[in-house]
Amino acid sequence: MESKDPKDVIQLLATEFNLPLNIVEKAVYSQFKLTAKTMAEGKYQSVRLPYLGRFHVLPGRLKRLKDAKRKNAGVGR
């Protein structure tokens, strides 16, 4: 059985392609950093990660999120 540990995957790729570990690590984690950044911006854009799928907020859920955000903003008044 193959290991699913990210450190093992990074080591395997670095060895296979003769690259430094830090370069491979940046490449592996960059897609997740982009996803986190996009989500943190609050624009609710969809993000597609190759081999993992598309991540998005469903329209009904988006409305509830925006309504809750507006409601919470008015609480401190």
Residue 13's pLDDT band (boundaries 50, 70, 90)?
very high
Residue 17's contacts (CB-CB under 8 Å, 6 or more residues apart) are 24
User: Is residue 13 in a domain?
Assistant: yes
What per-residue confidence (pLDDT) applies to 18? Answer: 96
Mean of per-residue pLDDT scores for the chain: 82
User: Is residue 16 in a domain?
Assistant: yes
Phi/psi-derived region of residue 50, left when phi > 0, alpha when psi is between -120 and 50, beta in every other case: beta
What's the domain count of the chain? 1
Torsion of CA 65, 69, 72, 76, to 10 degrees: 180
User: Is residue 1 in a domain?
Assistant: no
pLDDT tens for each residue of 44-69: 678 888 888 888 777 778 788 778 88
Residue 12's pLDDT band (boundaries 50, 70, 90)?
very high
Domain hosting residue 43, numbered range: 6-75
Query: Are the C-beta atoms of 24 and 10 separated by less than 8 Å?
Result: yes
User: Is residue 49 in a domain?
Assistant: yes
Q: What percent of the chain has pLDDT over 90?
A: 25
Using alpha carbons, select from 32, 29, 33 the residue that is nearest to residue 7. Answer: 29
